[in-house]
Amino acid sequence: MPAIAFWCLVGAIACTGLIYALMWWADTFPILPGPAMLDPGPRLIVSAIVGSLILVGSIAASRKRTDRLLAEAERLADRGDQISAARMLNEATGQELEECVRAIEDYLAGHAPPALPEEVRRLAEAGEQLRAVERLRELSGMGLQEAMRSVESHLAGR
């Protein structure tokens, strides 16, 4: 946590410095003739506020992107596309691909299969596993392997 606070402070100072430099440049080398827009004191205050807002906005945008990628990785894993899920997790976290594969496998191992729809349960219990798998895929959009696992796990737990 201290490292995050440190880098946020560094980012805020960097953004403030950049905004200050741009405002100084505009006042020092004006396009239109006239007096400087701001004195150094107000320029520093404005640049600190704008720099901090830019930093907070970029952190929020980065966090939103990461959350979206993690949700997509979870959705892909649930549908049975483990390779794409691992790649998406790698992009979201920056971890090694092997670690992402292990994380996806751990997620799937501890993830309880969702309850089957009534129609799919009836087909599976009537001995029509293939039709049950196909119907489950139609209803949920699951991948073939995930649908087969769900139907098999339902029959095993009966």
Task: Report the predicted TM-score, pTM, of the whole model to 2 decimal places.
Answer: 0.53
Q: Locate 69 and state its tokens.
A: 């990628």
**Nearest residue to 89 via CA among 72, 105, 114:** 72
What is the full per-residue pLDDT of the chain (158 aa) written as tens digits? 677 778 878 888 888 888 888 888 887 887 777 777 778 888 888 888 888 888 888 888 888 998 999 999 988 888 778 889 999 989 988 889 899 888 888 888 776 556 788 899 999 999 999 999 999 888 888 888 888 888 888 887 66
Range of the domain at 135: 118-156
Looking at the fold, whether 137 and 64 belong to one and the same domain comes out as: no
Looking at the fold, whether 101 and 124 belong to one and the same domain comes out as: no
CA distance 28 to 40: 12
Count up the domains in the chain and report the number. 2
Looking at the fold, whether 76 and 103 belong to one and the same domain comes out as: yes
Looking at the fold, whether 37 and 96 belong to one and the same domain comes out as: yes
Looking at the fold, whether 73 and 101 belong to one and the same domain comes out as: yes
- Cα separations in angstroms, 128 against 8, 59, 144: 58, 51, 16
